[in-house]
Amino acid sequence: WDDLTISARAKEALLRHIWPGNIRELRNVITRASKLADNRVIEVEDLMLQTPNSVPFSKAPLPGFAMEAAGSRRPLPVYRPREALAPRPLSPHKIAAQSAERDEMARAIEQCGGDVTACGQLLGMSRATFYRKLKQYNLSLERQDA
């Protein structure tokens, strides 16, 4: 692999591809492409990526990545995580759904007397999910007496 290079288009394709198999899938794609590559340069065609798992190509760089100017000796992307992972505001539908779920959990806690197993069964979720959502919605298992 020492004398192997990857073309700019192939790099963009690798960056835009969604990797459900994570690093193992990437490793397999690179290994296969290295065997298919002519002149020890991996081209986008050598990658044989499935297009449904890829973000469409464009001239613009990926969010969070800045490509060096054409002809630069450093064509690798520079990752900027704060730009790429900036939180998106929740939609009104998502806010309403979360509010309804929180209210439903609070009623289940009251109805089941704080019994996590019973609450989870009532709401159709595992204990782990119930605990995670308790924390997410800042709810307590203690009954709220009026």
- pLDDT for 61-78, tens place per residue? 444 444 444 444 444 444
Amino acid 52: pLDDT: 52
- pLDDT for 11-41, tens place per residue? 888 888 877 767 888 888 888 888 888 778 8
Rounded-to-integer distance, Cα 116 and Cα 128, Å: 10
Looking at the DSSP assignment, which residues form a beta bridge with residue 42?
6
2-11, 19-28, 124-133: the lowest-pLDDT one: 19-28
DSSP state of 79: E
In this prediction, residue 134 has a pLDDT band, given cuts at 50, 70 and 90, of very high
Residues 139 and 109: beta-carbon distance below 8 Å: yes
- pLDDT for 89-124, tens place per residue? 777 888 888 889 999 999 999 999 989 999 989 998
Burial string for 50-71 (b: 16+ CB within 10 Å, else e) reads: eeeeeeeeeeeeeebbebeeee
Residues 32 and 48: beta-carbon distance below 8 Å: yes
pTM of the model: 0.41
The first and second tokens of residue 71, run together, are 């002809």
Amino acid 25: pLDDT: 84
Amino acid 145: pLDDT: 52
How open is the CA angle 124-141-104, to the nearest 5 degrees? Answer: 40
Rounded-to-integer distance, Cα 119 and Cα 130, Å: 8
